């Protein structure tokens, strides 16, 4: 079903956690403009590429929309490979553009059918990445707006808290949820995050399909990069 302008406006009413100026939006656009490309893939801690600039990681359950969000942010339809097979991404995938920013697509978690040995390997890799990347500015944890936070997400929140890695929740696929349900989910998620010390208190609501919330998320990432650069 096609997304109408009314649908997009409905999502936007709860999409931005704060007001952004036109200058903020333009800074976000510029940050993600240009030639973004695949830079590296790492299936183990020893294969991680040298640290470059500032990294922002995209994490979430399998099929939560990580690849779609990366493609929407960078304006590239096929930069990140979109798969309908849960658990297909088994490596950390690094994407670089003309700026100091590197986007890292993390392996999806919560795929029950994956072998225990594979899950253990993913867990070891993710922990090594979270604890060993001094240039990791933030993890954007994606949550499907149709389902909200699941127990497996809560385990990841605890892991990020213990690792003292700053993270922020991004609700995806918001165009598939009614406005009242989105607002309730947003409030409940923000209330839950107040109990997590490493969590950013504000939540983004996005739709890669309609584009809702994407410009605001770009602006927020641009602000993060600028703050980290000033460090």
> Would you state the pLDDT for residue 7?
52
- Burial zone of 113 (CB within 10 Å; 0-12 exposed, 13-18 middle, 19+ buried): exposed
What is the pLDDT, as a whole number, of residue 2?
47
Beta strands 204-205 and 167-172 are parallel
**22: which 2 tokens?**
């036109």
Alpha-carbon span 15 to 174, nearest angstrom: 9
Residues of the chain with pLDDT under 70: 1-18, 82-89, 111-116, 118-119, 231
pLDDT of residue 16: 47
Widest CA span of the chain, in angstroms? Answer: 48
């Amino acid at each position: 079903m096609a997304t109408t302008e009314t649908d997009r406006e409905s999502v936007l009413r709860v999409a931005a956690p704060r007001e952004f100026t036109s200058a903020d939006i333009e800074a976000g656009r510029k940050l993600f403009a240009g030639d973004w490309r695949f830079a590296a893939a790492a299936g183990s801690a020893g294969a991680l590429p040298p640290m470059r600039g500032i990294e922002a990681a995209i994490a979430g359950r399998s099929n939560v929309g990580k690849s779609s969000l990366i493609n929407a942010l960078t304006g590239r339809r096929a930069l990140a490979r979109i798969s309908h097979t849960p658990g297909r991404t088994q490596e950390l995938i690094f994407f670089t553009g003309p700026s100091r920013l590197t986007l890292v697509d993390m392996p999806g978690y919560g795929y029950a059918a994956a072998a225990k040995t594979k899950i253990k390997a993913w867990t070891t890799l993710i922990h090594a990445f979270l604890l060993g990347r001094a240039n990791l500015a933030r993890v954007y944890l994606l949550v499907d707006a149709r389902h909200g936070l699941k127990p497996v997400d809560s385990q990841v929140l605890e892991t990020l808290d213990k690792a003292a890695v700053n993270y922020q929740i991004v609700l995806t696929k918001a165009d598939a949820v009614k406005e009242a349900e989105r607002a309730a989910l947003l409030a409940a998620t923000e209330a839950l995050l107040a109990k997590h010390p490493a969590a950013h208190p504000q939540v983004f609501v996005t739709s890669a399909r309609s584009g809702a919330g994407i410009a605001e998320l770009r602006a927020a990432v641009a602000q993060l990069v600028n703050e980290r650069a000033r460090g």
